[in-house]
Chain A
């Protein structure tokens, strides 16, 4: 405990926030791997209070804390000691393979106690604004311990609770995440603690707002209640004018925040907004090895986003540094480019599990339109040109054939879906023709193709100028 308190005094004296935060981190620092055990051995639950009090008072001259402040820190370190005791116990049991005995609930509750103590201290004004990073540690570990506790609970009790009280139905709750939900509530309090700080900006907890918000997002995503993220965004918007300029926040906060807002909009099908946030995150995220994973994550959503908004496919050079993404999007985008419908469907099926896990399946699926567009564009190009009439200029002004029989598109779809190979030539059955018309109608409706279908003549009449917008023809 002495080392911790020594570092505490140093941190307070030098206003070193990261050092201070490290003294309440429930993991040993790299340079002192045995720290937690040392703490455990150095004292016991009976004398911990006296020990810490002594440690704080003894050298109070060098840091000159007020009585109230040092009492607040006293509570924090007593709580910290209690965490260490139960944490080491749970870790030992886990390491010994006694998974069922490791009591992560107790660890969670102990840590929550510490977090509550911190919140109380901040609320009472005992902790200064620069110590806000302590809250980061608090929130980060709260989430981790909650997840571990929930996992342990699921192991012991199973995922389904059955009702036993005065309920009408047999089953109580599915997918229990009691602790994490509880953690979300605590984090929300901390969010409030940061965003509502009235101190002047250079001494404000407002600088912690985005970090906490990001943790909040992360928790909501894990809880699968992503829609709750919007509440946070709403309260951020409401206080936007009081917050420091977004660009002044640490870059890591900015990138993560942009990423989450991007993904939330993405899942909301607001692809334009999603694209702008994801692009911003991508731009800010440094192209360095340690950020590799984050860049890949951002691209996971940015690529499908672009496919829908601007029909832009990832270039091989963009995907090259990320083998994972290459595997994910490589085959699919090649098929879109080629207009290979059968290949597209196969790639979608092959990657379904991965796509669904990342929640991009339903978006990528719509990329089929682009594939169809590319296929029909080939039909158009293959159709060649109208015969040159008299009085017209040279090669450059030749007109493409814009009246194309429906049958040609139907043939293209059969080639594209390899229908001939599959069904031994289904022929021009009325059904298939109708389905091709349906595809054409969709392209026209979605403005991927300009023109109209004339059923009476069995023709598609394409626009003379830019039949396929954005593709150069």
Chain B
């Protein structure tokens, strides 16, 4: 859950989705041989199509033709007021650093010297507040249409992370011994890092009491008998506040899953699989899938409940892959 101020800011940022990020932008330079050559020199790219009188620009230069450079875009072209406002809101809230995280480009036709570049882009999405290894902030995704001589030439989706940096410990491997010690102590902290604590309240305390007794308890509505998970104060189907519990048999299947690679968090050791497990009772829950390599987890895979002790205070329900029964082909 976001805290109050975070929630308010989330809503204000969300309102920028769908608004223009750049309107009728014009590339500062037409596509030209010198910029192509400088790019190829920097990248070490000796593709023959990018040189000579009939050169095409490397397609990956797409965004470069739209950049404002040192002087930026001005007037009625380029960056829109909405995009400036959005970034201003983030800056004002302390999310002052920026890093690009994703770039997806499609190239519709080659760009050649002399082509005039024009572009429009819109704010496609603003994420909820996220915490990564870099810090806490928001992902902002824009989608740009790029034209050459007025004809579509490519599309460019771009995602940035606008964030407040996390406090960083020294990490320079070449630094003198004091920071080496710091690095070592950081490493030992990492090895002792503990998983986040569950937030136990009166609405979900019964679930955790069940876990402590190695029982996975599902809530059941008193009124309409609908099962529900995770635990909630009332029934989503009929609104009744009365409930009792049913103990899960522990059998289930992988309904869906993701594999976490990045960013790493201290108590976790990526890559690891996070599964959405469908219990035979019909409800789904998120948990770890264990007993199988992360890249061999599959949708539909049968799994069985067990309890894993994370540390002296915390035990968690996890799901172990059930070895496939041999034979019975056909």
The answer to whether A and B interact is: no
